[in-house]
Structures are given as C-alpha cells and as structure tokens.
C-alpha cells in the first residue's frame, strides 16, 4: 500500500491545493499519493482563488 498525504482546508481553493502542489514537487519520485480537500462545500466546482493562482504563477507554477 502506498503512503498517502492529504492537505485539508475550509474550501479547497487556496491553502490546501497550494500545499498539495508544492509538496508534489518536493516528493516527486517517492511513490506518495498526494491530494487536497475542503471541509465545506461552499466552493464545489469552483476555480482556484485568483490570489493563490497569481502567487503560483509569480513563482513559476500553476
């Protein structure tokens, strides 16, 4: 069974997906299952928070 990591925040539109993306880059090649989730359904089906997307783009990742 593979090791897995889950990052969780309230809406899953900024903090947890950002942590997931950063950790994926750091853990590449280690066979980890990495995902993110929210504790509420407020943003179900929504896009990432524009501020989080802007910071990812500024740092060369999207």
Q: Indicate which residue of 9, 14, 51, 59 is catalytic.
A: 9
Determine whether 58 is an active site residue: no
Length of the chain: 62
Cα first-last separation, the chain: 29
Q: 3-state class of 48 per DSSP? A: coil
Determine whether 15 is an active site residue: yes
Q: Indicate which residue of 15, 24, 47, 59 is catalytic.
A: 15
Q: Which residues are catalytic?
A: 9, 15
């Amino acid at each position: 069974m593979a090791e897995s990591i889950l990052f969780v925040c309230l809406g899953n539109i900024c903090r947890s997906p950002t942590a997931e993306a950063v950790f994926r880059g750091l853990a590449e090649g280690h066979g980890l299952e990495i995902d993110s989730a929210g504790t509420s359904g407020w943003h179900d089906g929504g896009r990432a928070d524009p501020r989080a997307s802007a910071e990812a783009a500024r740092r060369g990742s999207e």
